[in-house]
Amino acid sequence: MAFSRFAALALALAATSAAAAAECGPDKLGTSRIAEVGTKGGLLVGLKTYPAAIPLADHEVILTFDDGPDERTTPLVLKALADQCVRATFFAIGRKVEALPALARREVEEGHNVAHHTYTHPQPTLTFMTESAARADILKGMIAVERDAYGQDFSAGEPTDLGKLELHAPFFRFPGFADTADLRTWFADNNVAIFGTDLWASDWIPMTPGEELKLIMGRLEKAGRGMLLFHDNRPWTAAMMPAFLAELKKRGYRVVHVVAGPGTGPTVAAPPGWISETGRVTGALKPRFDNSAAPAPGPFAVKPAPVE
């Protein structure tokens, strides 16, 4: 993407953010600032997996959601965000975007990013697929998002090369945070940032909205800042979101919205003693599968267990 497009997008978002803040008033949480993240040469961020993070001040958070859109729960999440004038990034599954294109377009129209999370969300993760199959699933998901959420015209033919696909939000999150060296290089060569997360709500585990609120606020208060991961297809998360945003406002947190920018980074390094929690979990599963083996019967959910 050309710098002029990045600059125009950033200016438009900044103007919209300022207008929205004026309209929302001081009683709303709001989106405090827009942070440009350069993806040239790739980017690896999110302290649960990688030893670098997007720079945030104390009490700043980035909101992200995975595995949508969902016709039951995503509208509830969007309403909660709109009520508080907050922007977020949705890492969407391509087949779900194809099934619910109007909902994906709504996310874009309301100022959110719709980023990328594969086409099928393969189980037990991309790690146990051949590289060619993994790339095909990723590319198919990206095309679905670009066509149905952003309105790109592929009537002349869908690109078969990532380098020929212009991404509005060149951000990707691996299902289960399970990456490979080959895929990391592929994304870097095509200027796509890989997002892990700094904190998660563990909302892949059924719980009450109150339990989830207590869990995520406890983790956030301990860390003081960070990129947060939720799932907009979880009913307990959708039900919790209004109270969560109100709690952020009450405790003095500020929301940062991330957009793609020119150049590289910036990032900040992980603290001393850092380890990859997700790497430990996904690595422990490798003896059970390999790329040449037949697929395991039925779904096998690989999600990191809660870590305090």
Question: Helices 181-189 and 131-148, interaxial angle, to 10°?
Answer: 40
Where do the structural domains in the chain lie, given as residue ranges? 3-271
Q: Dump pLDDT digits (tens) for 12-53.
A: 444 444 444 446 889 999 999 999 999 999 999 999 999 999
Question: For residues 5 and 288, which has the higher predicted lDDT (pLDDT)?
Answer: 288
- In whole angstroms, what is the distance from residue 160 CA to residue 143 CA? 10
Query: pLDDT band at residue 9, thresholds of 50, 70 and 90?
Result: very low
Q: Dump pLDDT digits (tens) for 289-303.
A: 444 444 433 333 434
- In whole angstroms, what is the distance from residue 246 CA to residue 178 CA? 33
Span 269-287, average pLDDT: 79
Tokens for 261, please give them.
């920018």
Q: Dump pLDDT digits (tens) for 226-242.
A: 999 999 999 999 999 99
Residue 269's φ and ψ, nearest 5 degrees, are -75, 155
pLDDT at 307 (0 to 100) = 41
pLDDT at 21 (0 to 100) = 44
CATH fold label, 3-271: TIM Barrel (3.20.20)
Q: Dump pLDDT digits (tens) for 134-167.
A: 999 999 999 999 999 999 999 999 999 999 999 9
Q: How far is CA 188 from CA 40, 46, 55, 181, in A?
A: 7, 16, 20, 11
Average pLDDT, the chain: 88
Q: How far is CA 171 from CA 29, 79, 132, 263, in A?
A: 25, 24, 20, 14
